[in-house]
Amino acid sequence: MREAPQTRTIANQPSFVLETANVEAAITRKCGMLAPVVFFRDSAPVTPYAIAPWHDEEVPAGAPAVVKALRGDFMCSAFGGNEEPFKGRRLPVHGETASEEWDVVEQVKTDRGVALRLAMDLVLQGGRCVKHTALVKGHNVVYQRDDFSAVDGPINPGHHATLRFPDRPGAGRLSFSPFAYSHTFIEPCENPAQGGYSWLKPDQPVGDLAAVPCIDGSVADVTRYPARRGFEDIVILCADPSLRIAWSTVTFPDEGWLWFSLRDPGRLPSTLLWISNGGRHYPPWNGRHVNVMGIEDMTGFFHVGLAASARDNMLSGKGFKTCHRLSKEETLEIPYVQGVARIPGDFDRVAAIEVEDAESVRFVSDSGVSALTPCHADFCRTGKLGDLIR
């Protein structure tokens, strides 16, 4: 059944709202940002995504649209700052998909769940993006697929999931599928002369995420967060390309749940960690964007933008894809899965993810216990979800 989508203004942004008994998900009309999302809305709700503290304030003139609306997860058509023009055109921060208004194509409700289809013409970048978002009854999962068509040349897309952590040191424990390489950003992430501060040592290969070099000679454990209040830092992880499914997780043992994302590493080969704990003291950040981490599954050369991702760079030189090269006749489909699972009290951190069958995923912890949740994991490869996403 096709019907007009429900709309609501949430945290100062007009938004489309999708609902099942398990999940309520909002997507902003401008920038296409997924948040808030309420998982387990029928019992002890979980709302994992961050919303910027300035959402109901006037931000400085000239602030990027992505900063004004900043919240949750969103698709970047040109992941990164894009300060350097590409082919004579300077794209907005994280591209047009994260900056402009989305048009409604249709909303569909079936016995299986609900799906919304949005679309946007990429006027500057060229081409078109169609965004599919679906909720399946009984699943605490958001299924999305972004289709890029008629793009002539390189594109470096990515998701930008931004989570709010409890205000307690080390409350969340991060873990990832095997990665082939990791590196801190090649330059200091912030400039103290402009009111920004970073703590991790720039341009360092990372062999162990629990021992990342810092500027004072110490090491930091980036698998436990919150930590390092007063600093902004960036680390990239390049997935093992032989994986069928790559994953990112954050476990909150005291809260009794974990957040996860699943992807095809051939389409989104890297995960960029944006560790944002009050290190920006210029407006509108003003030192108050704290206990937030972006766990951003993407294609690109760090967060620099399309121009740097399309040319030879340090990561591409090591064999890691930093852009997709398309012709106008091709369509690049990027399916993505993210959700929340309940965990037992002795579940400490995800050590492995097992796809049990077409209907469920098992999370196995370092402590040896496991948690099973309904999830169509193979969607991140097929991009198909029955009558919801074809």
The per-residue pLDDT for range 98-147, each reduced to its tens digit, is 999 999 999 999 999 999 999 999 999 999 999 999 999 999 999 999 99
Report residue 190 as tokens. 């912030």
Is 94 a residue whose pLDDT tops 90? yes
- pLDDT band for position 77 (cuts 50, 70, 90): very high
Rounded CA-CA distance 249/270 in Å is 14
Whether 373 is covered by a domain: the verdict is: yes
Amino acid in position 264? D
Q: How many CA atoms lie within 13 A of 87 on its CB side?
A: 9
Residue 365 contacts residue 351 (beta carbons within 8 Å): yes
Is 2 a residue whose pLDDT tops 90? no
Q: What are phi and psi of 290, to 5 degrees?
A: -125, 160
At residue 178, the pLDDT reads 97
Burial class (CB in 10 A: 0-12, 13-18, 19+), 317: exposed
- pLDDT band for position 382 (cuts 50, 70, 90): very high
At residue 356, the pLDDT reads 78
Give the tens place of pLDDT for each residue, 239-284: 999 999 999 999 999 999 999 999 999 999 999 999 999 999 999 9
Give the tens place of pLDDT for each residue, 146-205: 999 999 999 999 999 999 999 999 999 999 999 999 999 999 999 999 999 999 999 999
Count of domains observed in the chain: 1
Report residue 74 as tokens. 């969103």
CA distances from 217 to 3, 179, 200, 214, 318 (A): 59, 25, 10, 6, 27
* DSSP type of residue 382: H
Rounded CA-CA distance 128/257 in Å is 37
Q: Give 249 or 62, the one with higher predicted confidence.
A: 249
Q: Which domain holds residue 299?
A: 2-382
Amino acid in position 114? V
The helix (run of H) or strand (run of E) holding residue 338 is: strand 331-342
Is 79 a residue whose pLDDT tops 80? yes
Rounded CA-CA distance 92/114 in Å is 31
Rounded CA-CA distance 205/183 in Å is 4
Whether 387 is covered by a domain: the verdict is: no
* Average confidence (pLDDT) over 215-219: 98
Give the tens place of pLDDT for each residue, 226-239: 999 999 999 999 99
CATH at residue 269 = 2.70.98.10
Whether 390 is covered by a domain: the verdict is: no
At residue 39, the pLDDT reads 98
Give the tens place of pLDDT for each residue, 121-131: 999 999 999 99
Give the tens place of pLDDT for each residue, 311-320: 999 999 999 9
Q: What are phi and psi of 344, to 5 degrees?
A: -70, 165
Whether 388 is covered by a domain: the verdict is: no
Whether 201 is covered by a domain: the verdict is: yes
Is 4 a residue whose pLDDT tops 90? no
Q: How many CA atoms lie within 13 A of 200 on its CB side?
A: 29
Whether 347 is covered by a domain: the verdict is: yes
Is 357 a residue whose pLDDT tops 90? no
Whether 289 is covered by a domain: the verdict is: yes
Segments of 93-188 assigned E as strands: 103-109, 113-121, 128-136, 141-149, 153-155, 158-159, 161-164, 172-176, 179-184
* Average confidence (pLDDT) over 204-222: 98
Whether 166 is covered by a domain: the verdict is: yes
Using a pLDDT cut of 70, give the percent of the chain over it: 100
